[in-house]
Structure 1
Amino acid sequence: MKSRFIKLLFLSWMLIGCASPPSPLVSPTPALLRILNRDTYIDPALLDAFTDETGIVIVYHTYSNNEELYNILTTAKEPYDLVIVSDVLIDRLLREQRLAVLNRGRIPNLANLAPAFNRIAGDPVNRFCVPYLWGVLGFGYRQSAQRQSITSWDDVFDPARSNRVVMVDDARFGIGLALIKLGFSPNTSDPAAIGAARDWLRSHAGRIVRFAGNDGQTFLASNEADVAIEWSGDILQIAIIDPDIQFEVPAEGAIFAADSMCVLANAANHVAAEQFINFILTAEHGAALANKTRYISPNRAAFDRLDDDLRRLIQRYQALEQEGRLFRLVDVDSATYQLYRAAWAEVRR
C-alpha cells in the first residue's frame, strides 16, 4: 500500500512539473471609434468622458469644408465610423448609399430631440442621421474697427470703410450668400442668377483678403481682418474671450444650417458610433457641447442647462426663420453643382 502511495505521489509531481506554465494575462485590444468632424465643433472633454464611460478609444479627425469632407470619405484607406456632416451633403451621401441605417433601439435619447430642430430634409425620420448642432452663416467683425455696427452686405463693402474681409471657402455657401443678397434663392439652378452672384462677389474682390476653410475667426482674433464671413458659433467662441468681436445676421438674409451625426455604411464599428450618438443626446452632454461651441443645440432636454445667451439666440433664430430671413441649402443635381463650383473658382481667382 505504501509503495502504491509513493508511486501515485511521484506521478502527480511529474504531471505538475510537465504542465505548461499559466499564460500571462493579455489585455484585450480596446475598441476604436473613428470620427470625422469640423474643427472647433466639439468639447474635447466629451471625447475623454466617452472613453472613460465606455472604454472605447476615439480616433478624431477634422475637415475644413464639404468638398474636403467628401474627398476624405471617398479616398480614406481606413473607413470612418461616424461623420458629422452638413444637411446639404446628406442627400448626396444617401443617394450614393454611403450611410448606414441606424439601430434606433441603441439610441433611446432620440426622444430628447426638439421637433423644431429635428429637421433633416433628406432624412425626416432619422433613419440615417441625427441632428448635432445648428448655426447661421453671417458677419463676424471687430467693433472697434467700425464706425458703426455691420448689419448688411452694404456695410461690409461700404466704399467709405477699409474693411479687410475673410470669406468662407465653400462654393455653395459663398455663392449662396451672394444669391440671397441679390434676391435669388440660394438653391437656384438658374445659370444667370449664379453668374450674377459670381460677378457681384468679383466686383468686391479687392476687399477679400483671404478665403478661409473653417478658421475665419482666427483672423479677426489676430487683427488680420476686420470682417469674417463665418459660422455663428466659431465667431461667438472667440467673442467670449474678446468682447470687441461681434456677430450679426445679414439683414438681407442668411444661411441656416444643421449638421448631423451619421454612421457610414462601411463603418467598422456601428455599435460604438450609435453609443456616441446616444451619449451626445443626453441632457448633460448636449448642453456641454452647445455651451462650449456656442452653436444651437437640437436637444430640448439640454435647454435648461444652456447659458442665458444661447437661450436668447435660439429664440432670435427661430424668429428670423419665421420672418423668412434664414434659408437652408438643399442638394442640387450634378450639373448645377458644377455651375456653383465654376462660379466659385472665378471668385477665388
Structure 2
Amino acid sequence: MSKKPVKKMLAFAMVAVLASTAVVGCGKSSSQEELNVFNWTEYIPSSVIVKFEEETGIKVNYSTYSSNEECLAKVESSAEGTYDVIVPSDYMVTIMKEKGLLEELNKDNITNFSNVSDVYLNKEFDKDNKYSVPFDAGAALLAVDTAVVKDNITSYNDLLNPNYANSLVVLDDQRALIGIALKALGYSLNETDDAKLAEAKVYLENLKPNIKAYDSDSPKTLLINGEASIGFLWNAECALAMDEKSSIKPVYPKEGMYLFIDSFAIPKGSKNKDNAEKFIDFLLSPEISKMVTDEFPYKNVNNAAYESLEESYKNNGASNVPDEEMAKGEFVIDVGDATTKFDKLWAEVK
C-alpha cells in the first residue's frame, strides 16, 4: 500500500505523455473539465489516461506519491479541493476517514462497482465501502536472483546473512519494513508493545548493512541490472523483474506476507466529484481493468475482467500470488496513537 512500483515505464514518462496537463492547484482558468488524480507511481498506464481523456473530454492532471504516509501528508497540507481522486491502502483509508478527509461516494455514478469481487468488499477499514472502491490488491514478497543466491531463502531471518552485504533492495516504507522485522520475530505486523518494537529495531539495525537501496518506486531495476540480488518489493514489481530476467524467482516467507488492498477514494472538498466518480467507473470496466493489469500486474480484483487476463499473468506466482499464500498473510491496520512509535523507530533505523 502504496504502494505501491517502474512497471514498464517510469511515472514521469506518463507525466510527459500528458504534457498538456496543468500543475495541480495552479489556478489556471479553463472551460475544459478537469480531474486531479494523485496516485502511486507506476500504477495506471498512460494509455488508460489518454483513453479516458479522449472518451470524456476531461483533462487529467496527474501527480504521484511513493507511500501512504506521503499521500496523507500531501492531502492534509494542501488546500481542500486540490485533489479529486487518490488511491490509499486499506489502513490509510481508515486514517483518512477518521480524520474527515474523504467524501462519501455516490455509487449510482459508479455502476461498474458491481464488477469488484466480494472477496475485497466490506472490509473492516471501510464497511459497506462508503468511502472507497477496491482497485488493486497484492503483497510484499521476496524476489531472489537464483543465478547469484544459491541459498534456499524461506524466511525474513535469512536476510540477515552477512554474505548478503550491500545486496538487498527494499521498499522505502516504514510499515512494511518494520512489519517484516516484527514478522521475523514471530509478532504481528501491527504489534505496538514497546519491548517488541525494540526487538524489531535490533533486527533492522542488523539488516541495514545488507541493504543497498530503499526504493518503493522501481525496486525491480536494481535486480534486473544486477546491482541487487535479493529484493523485498511489491508483487507486481517482482513479476515484471521476472519477465526481464528469468533467474529471478518469488519467495513467500514462511512467516507470512504484508498484504494490501489499494482503493479509489475522493478527498474531502473535491471540486470535480462527478468527474472523479466517472473516472473510477471507467477504471472498473473490464476492458480498462485488463489494460491496467497487463502493464502493472497486481492481483486483479475485477471479476468481470479476470477471464480475459493473459494466461501468463494467471500462471505467474508473483503477479497472481497463490490464494494459499495470501491466506497466510496479514493486513496492516491503523494503530492509532502508536503510529508515532513507528515514526520514531523508522527515523532511528533508516
TM-score (normalizing by structure 2)? 0.86
Q: Is the contact between residue 165 and residue 209 of structure 2 (CA under 8 Å) also seen in structure 1?
A: no
Tell me how far apart the structure 2 counterparts of residues 256 and 156 of structure 1 sit (CA, whole Å). 20
- Whether 2:140 is the aligned partner of 1:137: answer yes
Identify the match of residue 216 of structure 1 among 205, 216, 219. Answer: 219
Cα deviation, 1:7-43, whole Å, max 9, x if unaligned, reads xxxxxxxxxxxxxxxxxxxxx7211111111111112
* SS of structure 2 residue aligned to 1:37: strand
* Residue of structure 2 equivalent to 1:272: 275
Q: Is the contact between residue 85 and residue 265 of structure 2 (CA under 8 Å) also seen in structure 1?
A: yes
Deviates most, 154-163 or 300-309: 154-163
Give, as a single letter, the amino acid of the residue that structure 1 aligns with 2:284. Answer: L
Give, as a single letter, the amino acid of the residue that structure 1 aligns with 2:227. Answer: E
CA drift at 1:161: 4.6
* Residue of structure 1 equivalent to 2:124: 121
Identify the match of residue 319 of structure 1 among 306, 319, 324. Answer: 324
* Residue of structure 1 equivalent to 2:76: 74
CA RMSD of aligned residues (A): 1.8
Give, as a single letter, the amino acid of the residue that structure 2 aligns with 1:145. Answer: V
CA drift at 1:143: 2.3
Q: Is the contact between residue 143 and residue 149 of structure 1 (CA under 8 Å) also seen in structure 2?
A: no
Cα deviation, 1:295-326, whole Å, max 9, x if unaligned, reads 0111100110112243345875321233xx20
Identify the match of residue 146 of structure 1 among 141, 149, 162. Answer: 149
Tell me how far apart the structure 1 counterparts of residues 38 and 186 of structure 2 sit (CA, whole Å). 35
Identify the match of residue 44 of structure 1 among 43, 46, 55. Answer: 46
Question: Matched residues, percent identical?
Answer: 26
* SS of structure 2 residue aligned to 1:144: coil
Call closer, same or farther: CA 1:244–1:292 in 2, change over 3 Å.
same
In the alignment of these two chains, the number of paired residues is 318
* Residue of structure 2 equivalent to 1:185: 188
Call closer, same or farther: CA 1:169–1:317 in 2, change over 3 Å.
same
Tell me how far apart the structure 2 counterparts of residues 36 and 141 of structure 1 sit (CA, whole Å). 32
Report which of the two has the higher share of helix. 1
* SS of structure 2 residue aligned to 1:184: coil
Tell me how far apart the structure 2 counterparts of residues 161 and 329 of structure 1 sit (CA, whole Å). 28
Q: Is the contact between residue 96 and residue 102 of structure 2 (CA under 8 Å) also seen in structure 1?
A: yes
Q: Which runs of 5+ in 2 are unaligned?
A: 1-29
Tell me how far apart the structure 2 counterparts of residues 161 and 278 of structure 1 sit (CA, whole Å). 45
CA drift at 1:213: 3.5
Q: Which runs of 5+ in 1 are unaligned?
A: 1-27
CA drift at 1:162: 4.8
* Residue of structure 2 equivalent to 1:8: none
Tell me how far apart the structure 2 counterparts of residues 69 and 207 of structure 1 sit (CA, whole Å). 29
* SS of structure 2 residue aligned to 1:263: coil
Greater Cα radius of gyration, structure 1 or 2? 1
* Residue of structure 2 equivalent to 1:63: 65
Counterparts of 1:228-243 in structure 2, within 5 Å, are: 228-243=231-246
Tell me how far apart the structure 2 counterparts of residues 95 and 316 of structure 1 sit (CA, whole Å). 31
CA drift at 1:160: 4.4
* Residue of structure 2 equivalent to 1:17: none
